[in-house]
Structures are given as structure tokens and as C-alpha cells.
């Protein structure tokens, strides 16, 4: 696999977008892709480090910038914005997870400067960042290289004019082996320690400087024309779970310098080679689709957390979008990829939910319910982090009221759904018996307290927001009611399994204190929970939806810009929806519907959906593939695969759309490959686009690693490790054994 993404036009306004799509990370550290020679507001993302902030409760902290450089030649600063730019080339190599930069400049004194660099965030050594750079000048002179740790970083807030300071400097020190800065969040909860060293292969004079901006190393050397001078910048970033931050940071810095750049780079490449052996997907017949797909996978992998203190955030380690909060995006869109390809990481992300189960219980109690109600947005502590309002002006007189934190309750069932999906895919009984079961039981308990009984309709759920967020305060959301029912039935199912299994299963039942009587109540509610009415086979999205003003949209277009102003101003009074809602429910709960019912609902809702959310097209694409709407499925797949590369939503600068990236993988897995799990058996029903000759991918199923080659008329399955697996394709059943390959054909 050789995928490079090149950019050859410099535009200061585009740098923020480049910053996101050229981000490098390893789950612990995120370094955005802005060019290191220019100033930027963006520093370093350290996953899991949050602080209190106005309106948004807690947000990911913009940690000190460590990758930047300031370079002077004969006293003139090297700057892309003030000198004549002769060449600008940047290339992201996702195979090796590196970013290269090549820049040629003409100085104001008519000299020529060539600069090139290789940047990486080490895959295996989670605290290490490396920058190797070379400089060549067209005349003799004095070269000064300043390598800072910029501690004066701030977070952008709800308006561009407002910045939020989250860090105070606790320590800055210069030692023989490098410079060090330590900062602490204003709430005192986290500390970040950074050690940095700049090495020159040529003898240079070294000093250090301290200022309000931070601490820096300064190397000065006499240079000859047309000779190349090479430098390596080593940076170690540790956060407060490491004891003795300064001592540990310098120790790791010294170890890295002792190994040297080349050995560290080789180790990094080997790490990514192992990643790609498992994660890459090959598409015969469509290299552009293959490229976009693996670009999405690359950014998912870079963002997977290193432990269970935090889960995958909406915009990853790439930016401040959604303040670094965790949404349903993680469980429904991104986690299935990790469940199948990196199941241990999926478990850690689900453990984040379990570790915050007490906060979810408190949230439910605060809102007058029982059990566990997971927050719509959460940060490091698991409490509700959704702002109730966002000011639109500096005085705070104009505000936008946000109701999702108060009403978008389906996330609680979404998490229970993800827990069961993980168990179906992995068979991880230790997780399910100790942790997953408790999540499912406590979320069912929430729904049992959330419903109301109506004499005519049965059990109803009032005043919610479904995935379609244009319509607020609705009653009986189709998606919410169905997912709540699923959650209740799931809890009853696993209650019975637990009773009959003993061991940790029974201990969990005793800990949660669930009784037969309570479970019977759950089943009674599930049986009588209200489903919105149908008209000609179409399910009403919520009570009263069919009575709203109709408006038809082109399914191949997306966004709200195409709407007339009077429609945009009254979206809640129309049938227009923001994203997949009824169709999302039919995707997740596919077994509850026949294909003809799904088709009728798809045909109805697809022409009433703006896709103004990046979450919308993946489920529509998957269902479109089931229905043999190949052109539409492929169109959505390609839009999703290139959503950030082409900045289709105009907000890529805020971070990567990781949920969409997970959705891209699901379009492949559940849509085009048609892979489902039923009764411990893998079912495959290929629906590849006609131009695709084959797809090759790997995934885990219950600790067995499978390699598949899928064509529209043939499925090849090889078991690379683990126990025998049952396979069904084209109406034929087979079993693949270790080391063997089976072939099933139409």
C-alpha cells in the first residue's frame, strides 16, 4: 500500500484545514499539520487532558506547541508569509505515518533558502515526537534556529474574539540534555511535562531563553553556501499519570537521543506496518475509493485512545471541534471498526462508559429518573457537558438555546446497543459479565422510569430529540422508542443468561440488585411501547410529523445552503430532517423489518433529508446498497471518504470527522460486503459497486482473525488464527478451519 497525499499551494487561510488533514498522532498525542515555520493558535493535543471552560463545562486543553521553529538567516526571519515563496510541497504518507515538507524561499536580500523536514509522532513510544529538518542557503552567513516550547497557548472559545487560558506554568528549566516546561490546568487536575532537545550535526553555539511565551533552545552556526545542514528535534510529552514528570521526561528524552532518529524511525515504520497488515482494505478496480477509505482508517487509528480514561472524541486528536467531547458518534459510528479490527481498543472505549457509570446514575437521578442516563456530551468525568446556551454576541444578549443535553436521550440505548454488538463480535465474556451486563441493566432501568403509560397508546416517551435534530420537544420519536424497546429486551435477555451462568454474571446481578419482578416489568413495557403510526408502510418519525409542511430535496446534494430562506428559518415546521433517523433505526435494527418496508421508508425519507450532519450519509449508503441503489450508495461512500480532504462541510479546520470515517468502514463492511452476524455465524451478502472487481480485508470474530476476498459472485475466507468459524454466503453454509481457505460461489 502506497498512499501519499500531496499539497502544493500555500494559502494562510487553508493552513487550518491542512492542520486537520495532515495531523499526526498516536492516541496520546496529536500534532496538527500546520507548517512548523509559521505561527498558529494550535499547540499540542494530549488526549484526556481537560479543564473547566465557560458554557461548555469542560473542554480538551490546547497544550504547549512543541513542533514550531523560528529560523533566521543573517538576521532575516525565514517566513512563508513575508518572503517570496518559490516552492511549497507537503506530503502525508499514511503508510508510514509521516509528514514531509519542502519549501524554497527567496529572501529580501535575494538569497535562496531550501528547507525540508520529516515529522512523526511515534507509534510505539507514545510520548515521543520527532522532527528531522535540513536547511541549505545560497550564500555564506549566520544561521540561527530557535526551538521553543510555547507555553502561552489558549483555546478558541464560542467566538473568535474570545480565548480561554487553561494552563499555568509550574516549571521551566534548561539542562545540558535539553529544555523542560511543565504546565498545570487551572483546575489543578492535570499536569503536562515537556522535554525537548535540538541536535545539530554541525558544531553550533547553544543558549536557552525564557520569556512570557515559554522556553526555547537557540542554536547559532556559521554556514556555507550550497551546503546542507541537518538537525533533529526530539520532544517528549508526558501527562500527570506519570510520576516525577521532569525526571521521567528527561530520561525518555535521553533514551530517544541515544537511539537516534534512524532507529526510532525504523521502529515507528514497523509499528505502522503491523497496523496496516490488519487494518488496510484493498479495492480492485477503484484506486481512488481505496485511497479515501484508507485515509479514513488512518485517522481513526491515530485517534484510538491509549487507555480507558477517555474514549474517541467527535473530532479526534485533530482540533477543538465539539470541545473534545464524546457523543453517540463513538458507539454507533466509530466503534464497530475497532470491535472488528482492534477489539482490545474497543473494549477500552466501552470501559470509559463503564468507568463513568456512576456519573450516568447521578445524571439520571438529577433528571428525576432511575438507573443510568448517559450524557449527550461527555468529557473526562462522564457528566453532562452539553451547553444549555451559546452566546452569539459579546454581550450575551443574543443566544442560541441548546436542548440536546436535556432531550437527546437515545444515546443511553445506543451505548447498550454497542455493548451487545461488541459481545456478539468478540465473545468477550469477562467484559460482558463484569461490566457490559451492568451497563445494559442500568440503562434498561432508566428507560423503565423514562416512559409514561397512555391508555390509548401504551407506553410512550415524551419530549425528546431524535437523531434528526431539526425537531425538538417531540413525542414518541421512532428511533428513540425502538432503541429504548431494544434496550429493555436486551436487559431481560441477559438477565436470563446471567441467572443460568453463575460466576461473575451472578455477582453483577447481585451488585445491581435486579429482581425477576423488575425484569418482567421491563418486558411488559417493551411489549407495549408505542411505535408511531404508519401510512402506506411509512413509519412516522415522531407524533405529528406527517402533519408538517412538505418539501422535497435532491438526494444527491447535501447541506442547508440549497434551501430557500423561508424554509431554513422554519425547519422545525417542515418534514425536512437533518440526518438519517428512521433509516438509522432500520439500519441498526435491520432484523425487525423486511426489505420492502425498509425500501418504502428509504424512498420517503431520502428526499426529505438535508444531510447537514456528516453522520447522515453512512447509514443511508449502507441501506441504499441493501436496496441495490448502487449509484446513490457509491456517491455517498465517496463523499464520506473524502469529506475532510475536500472540506465538504466547510468545517474541517475544527478537527477530523471521525464518526464519518467509521461510517465509511461500515459502508464497506455492512453495506458493500454485506457482512452480518447471526447466531454465532458470519453471513456475507456482497453488493459491490459494478466497477469494483474485489474487496480484500481482515477482521476479528471471537478471537479468530479472518482474511476475506469478496466479489459479487465469490467469497474467499481464510482463517489466519483462532478457532473454526461458520460462514454463510449465497445460501450456502461452510466452516473455515485454521490455516484453511474456503470458497463459496453463487
Residues labelled catalytic: 469
Strand partners, 164: 155
CA nearest 717: which of 744, 693, 695?
744
Whole-angstrom CA distances from 715 to 623, 696, 710, 735 are 21, 10, 5, 13
Strands (E), 518-620: 534-535, 538-539
Distance CA 409, CA 488 (A): 15
Q: Supply φ then ψ for residue 576, to 5 degrees.
A: -65, 135
Q: Please list, in sequence order, all residues whose beta carbon lies within 8 angstroms of the beta carbon of residue 409, skipping any fewer than 6 positions away.
A: 373, 450, 461, 464, 480
Neighbours of 544 (CB within 10 A): 13
- Would you give the distance in Å from CA 606 to the centre of its chain? 26
CA angle 211, 214, 220 (to 5 degrees): 80
Neighbours of 743 (CB within 10 A): 12
Neighbours of 219 (CB within 10 A): 21
CA nearest 509: which of 573, 444, 596?
444
Whole-angstrom CA distances from 162 to 13, 159, 204 are 19, 6, 41
CA nearest 331: which of 257, 439, 451?
439
Distance CA 418, CA 374 (A): 13
Q: Which residues of 649-667 are buried (b: 16+ CB within 10 A; e: fewer)?
A: bebbbbbbbbbbbbbbbbb
531 in helix, strand or coil?
A: coil
Whole-angstrom CA distances from 177 to 183, 195, 248, 255 are 20, 9, 13, 11
Distance CA 63, CA 127 (A): 14
- Dihedral Cα 88, 91, 92, 94, nearest 10 deg: 180
Residue positions counted in the chain: 746
Neighbours of 3 (CB within 10 A): 18
Which segments of 304-376 does DSSP mark as H helices, in order? 328, 335-341, 343-355, 357-366
Task: Report strand pairing: 725-729 vs 681-684.
Answer: parallel
CA nearest 682: which of 424, 341, 337?
424
Q: Supply φ then ψ for residue 507, to 5 degrees.
A: -60, -40
Contact 132, 232 (CB under 8 A): yes
Q: Please list, in sequence order, all residues whose beta carbon lies within 8 angstroms of the beta carbon of residue 39, skipping any fewer than 6 positions away.
A: 68
Q: Please list, in sequence order, all residues whose beta carbon lies within 8 angstroms of the beta carbon of residue 566, skipping any fewer than 6 positions away.
A: none
Contact 43, 32 (CB under 8 A): no
Distance CA 224, CA 699 (A): 54
Amino acid at each position: 500500500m502506497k498512499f501519499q497525499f500531496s499539497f502544493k499551494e500555500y494559502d494562510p487561510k487553508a493552513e487550518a484545514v491542512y492542520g486537520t488533514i495532515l495531523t499526526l498522532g498516536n492516541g496520546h498525542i496529536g500534532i496538527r499539520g500546520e507548517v512548523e515555520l509559521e505561527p498558529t493558535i494550535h499547540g499540542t493535543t494530549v488526549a484526556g487532558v481537560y479543564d473547566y471552560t465557560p458554557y461548555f463545562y469542560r473542554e480538551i486543553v490546547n497544550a504547549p506547541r512543541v513542533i514550531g521553529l523560528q529560523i533566521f538567516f543573517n538576521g532575516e526571519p525565514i517566513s512563508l508569509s513575508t518572503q517570496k515563496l518559490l516552492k511549497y510541497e507537503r506530503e502525508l504518507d499514511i503508510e508510514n505515518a509521516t509528514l514531509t515538507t519542502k519549501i524554497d524561499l527567496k529572501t529580501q536580500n535575494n538569497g535562496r533558502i531550501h528547507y525540508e523536514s520529516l515529522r512523526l509522532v511515534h507509534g510505539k513510544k507514545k510520548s515521543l515526537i520527532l522532527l528531522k529538518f535540513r536547511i541549505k542557503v545560497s550564500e555564506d552567513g549566520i544561521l540561527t534556529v530557535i526551538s521553543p516550547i510555547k507555553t502561552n497557548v489558549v483555546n478558541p472559545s464560542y467566538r473568535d474574539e474570545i480565548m480561554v487560558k487553561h494552563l499555568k506554568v509550574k516549571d521551566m528549566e534548561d539542562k545540558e540534555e535539553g529544555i523542560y516546561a511543565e504546565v498545570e490546568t487551572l483546575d489543578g487536575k492535570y499536569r503536562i511535562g515537556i522535554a525537548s532537545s535540538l541536535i545539530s550535526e554541525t558544531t553550533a553555539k547553544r543558549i536557552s531563553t525564557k520569556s512570557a511565551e515559554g522556553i526555547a533552545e537557540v542554536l547559532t552556526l556559521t554556514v556555507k553556501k550550497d551546503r546542507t545542514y541537518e538537525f533533529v528535534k526530539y520532544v517528549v510529552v508526558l501527562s500527570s499519570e506519570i510520576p516525577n514528570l521532569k525526571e521521567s521526561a528527561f530520561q525518555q528524552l535521553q533514551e530517544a537521543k541515544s537511539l537516534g532518529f534512524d532507529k526510532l524511525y525504523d521502529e515507528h515504520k514497523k509499528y505502522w506496518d503491523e497496523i496496516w497488515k490488519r487494518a488496510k482494505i484493498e479495492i480492485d478496480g477503484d484506486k481512488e475509493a481505496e485511497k479515501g477509505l484508507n485515509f479514513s482508517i488512518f485517522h481513526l487509528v491515530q485517534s484510538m485512545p491509549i487507555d480507558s480514561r477517555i474514549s474517541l472524541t467527535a473530532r479526534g486528536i485533530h482540533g477543538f471541534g465539539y470541545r473534545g467531547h464524546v457523543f453517540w458518534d463513538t458507539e454507533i459510528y466509530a466503534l464497530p471498526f475497532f470491535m472488528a479490527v482492534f477489539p482490545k481498543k474497543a473494549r477500552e472505549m466501552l470501559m470509559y462508559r463503564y468507568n463513568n457509570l456512576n456519573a450516568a446514575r447521578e445524571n439520571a437521578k438529577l433528571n428525576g429518573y432511575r438507573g443510568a442516563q448517559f450524557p449527550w456530551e461527555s468529557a473526562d468525568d462522564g457528566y453532562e457537558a452539553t451547553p444549555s446556551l451559546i452566546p452569539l454576541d459579546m454581550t450575551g444578549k443574543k443566544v442560541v438555546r441548546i436542548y440536546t443535553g436535556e432531550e437527546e436521550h437515545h444515546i443511553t440505548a445506543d451505548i447498550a446497543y454497542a455493548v451487545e454488538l461488541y459481545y456478539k463480535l468478540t465473545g468477550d465474556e469477562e467484559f460482558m459479565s463484569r461490566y457490559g451486563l451492568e451497563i445494559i441493566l442500568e440503562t434498561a432501568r432508566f428507560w423503565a422510569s423514562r416512559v409514561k403509560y397512555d391508555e390509548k397508546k401504551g407506553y410512550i416517551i415524551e419530549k425528546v430529540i431524535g437523531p434528526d435534530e431539526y425537531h425538538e420537544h417531540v413525542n414518541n420519536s421512532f428511533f428513540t422508542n425502538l432503541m429504548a424497546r431494544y434496550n429493555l429486551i436486551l436487559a431481560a435477555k441477559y438477565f436470563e443468561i446471567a441467572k443460568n451462568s453463575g460466576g461473575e454474571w451472578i455477582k453483577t446481578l447481585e451488585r445491581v440488585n435486579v429482581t425477576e419482578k423488575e425484569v418482567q416489568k421491563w418486558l411488559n413495557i417493551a411489549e407495549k411501547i408505542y411505535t408511531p403510526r404508519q401510512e402506506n408502510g411509512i413509519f412516522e418519525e415522531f407524533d405529528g410529523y406527517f402533519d408538517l409542511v412538505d418539501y422535497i430535496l435532491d438526494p444527491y446534494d447535501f447541506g442547508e445552503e440549497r434551501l430557500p430562506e423561508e424554509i431554513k428559518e422554519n425547519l422545525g415546521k417542515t418534514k425536512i430532517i437533518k440526518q438519517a433517523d428512521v433509516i438509522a433505526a432500520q439500519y441498526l435494527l435491520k432484523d425487525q423489518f423486511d426489505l420492502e418496508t425498509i425500501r418504502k421508508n428509504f424512498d420517503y425519507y431520502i428526499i426529505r433529508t438535508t444531510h447537514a450532519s456528516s453522520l447522515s450519509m453512512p447509514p443511508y449508503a449502507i441501506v441504499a446498497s441493501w436496496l441495490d441503489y448502487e449509484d446513490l450508495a457509491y456517491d455517498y461512500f465517496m463523499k464520506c471518504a473524502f469529506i475532510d480532504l475536500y472540506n465538504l462541510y466547510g468545517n474541517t479546520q475544527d478537527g477530523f470527522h471521525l464518526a464519518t470515517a467509521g461510517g465509511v468502514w461500515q459502508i464497506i463492511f455492512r453495506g458493500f460486503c454485506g457482512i452480518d452476524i447471526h447466531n454465532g455465524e458470519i453471513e456475507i451478502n456482497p453488493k459491490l459497486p459494478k466497477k469494483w472487481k474485489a474487496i480484500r480485508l481482515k477482521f476479528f470474530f471471537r478471537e479468530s482473525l479472518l482474511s476475506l476476498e469478496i466479489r459479487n459472485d465469490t467469497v474467499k475466507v481464510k482463517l489466519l488464527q483462532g478457532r473454526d468459524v461458520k460462514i454463510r454466503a449465497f445460501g450456502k453454509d461452510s466452516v473455515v478451519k485454521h490455516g484453511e481457505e474456503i470458497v463459496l460461489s453463487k
